[in-house]
Structure 1
């Protein structure tokens, strides 16, 4: 029996098992077995041909990368060409793009890499088409644009999210606040600072038993589910911001457009006519969580022409120096910093924290 067949067998058994107190241990075991089998699909053996493949993995440039994911013929290549000026083959038939096509766009002084990925099909997470290679590249991006046809956005959105979830990508989610520390002895020590309404101790014991964990400290600081616990134990999940790009709005009415705007994290556009690109780029900037830092020569005005762009969560003076040149830290004496993050304008920093 193949791995995919085993997965389908477990999913069938879970579907026909009623969830109650008596079955919670059994369902916990099934979910843990399912996660381990899906891990085999995520990291197949070398003989299985599951690597990125020629034409998929590309050299990374810029401060961030945005990957385009979607079914065939939704307008990814046209959007790529309009945003970057890079030619990505576009035509009125499916699977025009067969490899990863990289491009670079400049926005607010930042160089951002854009990756036009081949269209995926349902079952990509199980290896159908070349979906596994496509999603493997998407896992390494800073942001994903899920490009959808505006005529059927909710159906395709759910299908693509299912494919990404099956490949360990968690869309617009934060890592669960669960502390896990394995021990050599002492048994399971389970604590929680908030009530667990989706998870009971039988399920926790079932999952840890399936992973052959007999001694560990597990602290729940959120109302976690059994899937959250499995994600923490697996340790290979990617929590990634996602923007839903609803393309071809030139084909719908204004009333339909008002309904589409209610979809969270969605931006309706027309790539052919370049409609609403401003909102799309603004959404992209917010999702990437970037910040611009301007240098100020001594005795002169700040240089607003070439900012240093950093991630907001990695934005110290040390990060700034590294972004300019690795040798600056060795010669660093002090820096003056202006902005909302300092107590005084300017504030003098003497040294780096060690």
Structure 2
């Protein structure tokens, strides 16, 4: 019996086995065997001397997005609309036979978009070049699952099943399970939470199926047997996925509303160019990218050339992107960002940039000219800052400026100086110059 036949038999056995307390060990063993056979199926054949033709392309840009879907759902049309790359689109299936890359330029970032050939049911077993398509998808940062809105539910379940069978976990996080094989000592099992899906006996049975008899296992969350198997296998890929329902012009408004309310879902029409801007915003959010701008001493920040990093990147990552030798000589940075109350914040090299908004980083000392330039820039970008490091910028909130509405005036009326935090809106250079000419209502900069 071949691997495909074994997989089919196990899937049938799982389907006809009732799920209850008495069968949980049997089901756990079946799932462990199924995962093992699927891993063997994905391994390249040792008897084949020649390598199969692939269509992977070099990874470029700040992030990679893979377009996955059945044939003729609008992937090539979407690529042509969002990038300058022309991908052949037609009404017949399998128009695209290889991987076609394009680049989306958005918020200063270059996002590589891959138009992959349409996959069919059974792609995980190699049908329709499915293995090559899925192999490229594993290298992406985000998957866009393009679905035909007229049959989206069927396509979505089939594609999720295919990707699940090859170890791609969509919109899931890695299970918080500590697992370490040992040379001896048996199996050490512990948990910090109450387990409702896995027991110590089931964990031991699954480990024995993988010929593991000595290991440390620590559950830090309540996980299922499938999630524990994923930890043992170790080659799973966890990535965000956007479910994009195309051709909404062919369905009713009620159906569009129902699809749009689904989690991780966006409804569009490539033919009528509907909702593409919102899709780009959602894609940016799922990629979790942040723009970081640098500035030289005494100069304005350069908002034309952003450093694109992942959310959670540290100042050290910024240094490495500027120059590889900068990090070794680096001591601290001055950082402006929304999540910091006192600006600029002096941050060490390992401190993370966890804010998702655009930041401005200065790597040198602060000067008065840079403060004024920063105020003007913040005003133009509708950003509010109150306190900048050792420099306090204060403005009379009651006169001269229409940007202070009744709510702000009421908040400060009759209050002592220390009752409320300073409320500053950055001021353009022209307004600042007029204030200097006046004898009152001036902006005061105190070092």
> What SS is found at the alignment partner of 1:303?
coil
Q: List runs of 5+ in structure 2 lacking aligned partners.
A: 352-447
Which residues of 2 match residues 264-275 of structure 1 at below 5 A?
264-275=263-274
- Alignment correspondent of 1:27: 27
Specify whether residues 16 and 352 from structure 1 end up closer, same or farther in structure 2 by C-alpha distance, changes over 3 A only: closer
Which of 335, 338, 345 lines up with 2:336 in the alignment?
338
Separation of aligned partners in 1, 2:13 and 2:127: 23
1:39 aligns with 2:44: no
Which residues of 2 match residues 298-309 of structure 1 at below 5 A?
298-309=297-308
Separation of aligned partners in 2, 1:195 and 1:333: 45
Separation of aligned partners in 2, 1:331 and 1:25: 57
Separation of aligned partners in 2, 1:250 and 1:51: 44
**Alpha-carbon deviations, 1:195-218, whole Å to 9, x = none?**
211222332121011111112221
**Alpha-carbon deviations, 1:24-49, whole Å to 9, x = none?**
33322221111110001222225459
Instruction: Return the TM-score normalized by structure 2.
Output: 0.75
Q: Kindly name which structure, 1 or 2, has the bigger radius of gyration based on alpha carbons.
A: 2
- Alignment correspondent of 2:227: 228
Instruction: Return the TM-score normalized by structure 1.
Output: 0.94
- Alignment correspondent of 2:255: 256
Separation of aligned partners in 1, 2:68 and 2:236: 18
Specify whether residues 47 and 63 from structure 1 end up closer, same or farther in structure 2 by C-alpha distance, changes over 3 A only: farther
Separation of aligned partners in 1, 2:201 and 2:20: 11
> What SS is found at the alignment partner of 2:342?
coil
Measure how far apart 1:343 and its partner are: 5.9
1:120 aligns with 2:119: yes
1:172 aligns with 2:152: no
Which of 310, 319, 322 lines up with 2:320 in the alignment?
322
Q: List runs of 5+ in structure 1 lacking aligned partners.
A: none
Separation of aligned partners in 1, 2:350 and 2:179: 31
Moved more, 14-23 or 226-235: 14-23
CA RMSD of aligned residues (A): 1.9
Indicate the structure whose relative CO is greater, using CA pairs within 8 Å and at least 6 residues apart: 1
> What SS is found at the alignment partner of 2:113?
strand
> What SS is found at the alignment partner of 2:228?
helix
CA contact (8 A) 2:315 2:349 kept: no
1:347 aligns with 2:345: yes
> What SS is found at the alignment partner of 1:310?
strand
Specify whether residues 327 and 129 from structure 1 end up closer, same or farther in structure 2 by C-alpha distance, changes over 3 A only: same
CA contact (8 A) 2:65 2:114 kept: yes
Specify whether residues 233 and 50 from structure 1 end up closer, same or farther in structure 2 by C-alpha distance, changes over 3 A only: farther
Q: Aligned pairs, how many?
A: 351
Which residues of 2 match residues 69-80 of structure 1 at below 5 A?
69-80=68-79
CA contact (8 A) 2:314 2:349 kept: no
- Alignment correspondent of 2:104: 105
- Alignment correspondent of 1:8: 8
Measure how far apart 1:130 and its partner are: 0.3
